[in-house]
Chains A and B, each alone.
Chain A
Amino acid sequence: MRRPLLHKLAAAFGAAALLAVAPAAPVRAAGEAPPLPDTRFSFEGLFGTFDRASAQRGLQVYMEVCANCHSLRQLSYRNLTGIGLSDAQVRAIAATVQVQDGPNDEGQMFERPGRPSDRFRRPFPNDAAARAANNGALPPDLSVIVKARAGGADYIYALLTGYADPPAGVEVMEGMHYNRYFPGNQIAMAPPLNDGQVTFHDGTRATVDQMARDVTTFLAWAAEPELEERRALGVKVVLFLTILGGLVYAVKRKVWAEVH
């Protein structure tokens, strides 16, 4: 009679340990912002994968829009094969930017076309220059932005599409913009996306929603390029462990049968 209670307790202890943590995150994240819209991204769920076409369009949005202010310094052009680009395409994309190299034999730094092994070019040489060019606000690096914000991809998408006129009575400071999802609602970044701002190579209509969705997909990939490999390996590992667990449990039953 005593045992079931104990088992329940043990289970409750374990479950509570996990649950006690889980609710903490949303509470921290929400602040006064409205709940994030649930965007159904291709990479969500246990077995989701990155929509390659979307990620490639997102790359285009990043390079034509975001890259003017935001760096992506953890990534190299060679990484782009991960969203389905060929080596030749990667070479071509890398060659469109000029990167600084050197010093040469005369001790001078020089510019040369980018190579796949180069990191993504940074728009500003340092943080101070970035602030100076942006009214004192520092555009954050986007390499791991999806992992660095509570709400992840949903938050990035919500932020990009969350610009609106301030509600009555809300005074927006000079140089700031009202955004429903930004903590405190006042963001230094001007609305970055406008309908038709880029011309997608694949002919997709460049609505704000489409661009936000695509660039979020791209950034989600940039933050977790290992995601697909990780989940695929995870499925194998869990399957293997399940079978092993069944076998070990059978052995255990046999071994203990003699004692019982």
Chain B
Amino acid sequence: MASGLHQSDFKNPVVRWIDARLPVFTMMEKEYGTFPTPRNFNYLWNFGALAMVTLLIMIATGIFLAMNYTPHVNHAFDSVERIMRDVNYGWLLRYVHANGASMFFIVVYVHIWRGLYYGSYKAPRELLWMLGVVIFLLMMATAFMGYVLPWGQMSFWGATVITNLFSAIPLVGDSIVTWLWGGFSVDNPTLNRFFSLHYLLPFVIVGVVFLHVAALHITGSNNPLGIDPKGPQDTVPFHPYYTVKDSVGLVAYFVVFAVLVFFFPNLLGHPDNYIPANPLVTPPHIVPEWYFLPYYAILRAVPNKLGGVVLMFSSILILFVLPWLDTSPVRSMRFRPIARIALLLWTVAFFVLMWCGSQPPEGIAVVLARIGTAYYFAYFLVILPLLGRLERTLPLPESISRPVLRGGGPLPAGAAVKPMEKA
């Protein structure tokens, strides 16, 4: 201490030498080795790690794709085809990157849903949750700009429609759109800046992910019961218990990912994006990528331009205030019989909106989109605040290692305590 060096416990002299000067090994050991983690995670708790791995995959493949991509309206489409045909394993890199975007959203949607179901957004994890929403917003921006880069018909018209959303802003809307474009339509300057930002934003995401994880390691993880660990009997060290469990999830995830990439690489894409961008012809039916469909449905559910745009952005921004909208002290929906049903209905509404977003805006799709939108917001703004006051929650277990019995009696000492992990 006197010399200002960190007291390192590592035996290996090289590790010890480094650790004394820069205690990264101590930090890793503390945060990912011995870090006390609730023992009752289910496999839904894998999805944070999966998201992290997917982010790394996207950055790695993206960097190598950028080595061969040309961000120019005359060459972008051809350079992508050259990657597919001439660059060694270029098709693999591109399909992993393109499908990786979809996988990323699947993983993050499950991750968010798990937070909603188990009340992970509640005190003391409000800031952790809000950082997560920031990551989600950055992801959406990154994905949107990435989809523009191949410069197909959907790229071009998606960019046109989405940037035009900002024209709904009163007074300065048109100036903002012109500024976004760097011209008077989506054109080469737009493509160039989108490429630049598409390369930049993932690293910003990495930064926010770091904060997200830092915040997580202050509060500790939530768990399926939503109650705090009462002592060492309620936790296990992160390694090896959750490193190995995350590995199981990771390999399973890779299988799904691989099947998509190798056997159905264009399943989630749109055929029109293999038609080079043509500023003079709009495809008959333009749709965003599947992961934006619910928000697209909300946008179109409102017959007013500004109203639609405001509602669409609100549908995500509302997540920022969710920790204060849900006033119930009980975190896990397991003990909230009514809120649980309300959340399941919200989930249904999300998928209904997703379907509506894929349909032409007419007939039943519009009606369903309006009902879905109304429920989407009602869940956050009406149902959760009301339930916080009115709902009769089920009795909470005494601790993680002693789940409450039906009768509420104490657990016999000899009874095997099956952690919730494996049912």
Which residues on A are within 8 Å of B, measured CB to CB? Answer: 2-4, 6-7, 9-10, 13-14, 16-17, 20-24, 27-28, 46, 73-75, 79, 140-141, 143-144, 147-150, 152, 183, 223, 225-226, 230-231, 233-235, 237-238, 241-242, 244-245, 248-249, 251-252, 255-256, 259-260
Contacts and interface: CB of A to CB of B under 8 A. Distances in A.
A14 B271 CA distance: 24
B355 A20 contact: yes
B354 interface: yes
Q: How large is the interface on B (under 10, 10 to 19, 20 to 34, 35 or more residues)?
A: 35 or more
Contacts, number: 139
Given A230-B91, A234-B262, A248 B241 contact: no
B236 interface: yes
B25 interface: no
Contacts of B344: 9
B290 A14 contact: no
Contacts of B42: 3, 6
Given A3-B420, A230-B262, A256-B241, 6 more contacts: A13-B109, A23-B358, A140-B275, A152-B271, A231-B263, A238-B258
Q: Which 6 A-B pairs have the closest CB atoms?
A: A234-B262, A24-B358, A148-B274, A3-B423, A245-B251, A226-B91
B64 interface: no
Interface string B259-298: 1011101111001101110000000110100100100000
Interface stretch (B77-85, B181-189, B209-217): B77-85
Interface in B222-247: 224, 236, 240-241, 244-245, 247
Contacts of A6: 42, 44, 117, 224, 334
Nearest to B273: A148
24 contacts: A3-B42, A3-B420, A4-B423, A6-B224, A13-B110, A17-B106, A17-B351, A20-B290, A20-B358, A21-B267, A21-B290, A21-B354, A23-B358, A24-B290, A24-B359, A74-B85, A147-B266, A147-B274, A223-B274, A225-B85, A226-B91, A231-B262, A245-B255, A260-B422
Contacts of A46: 263
B421 interface: yes
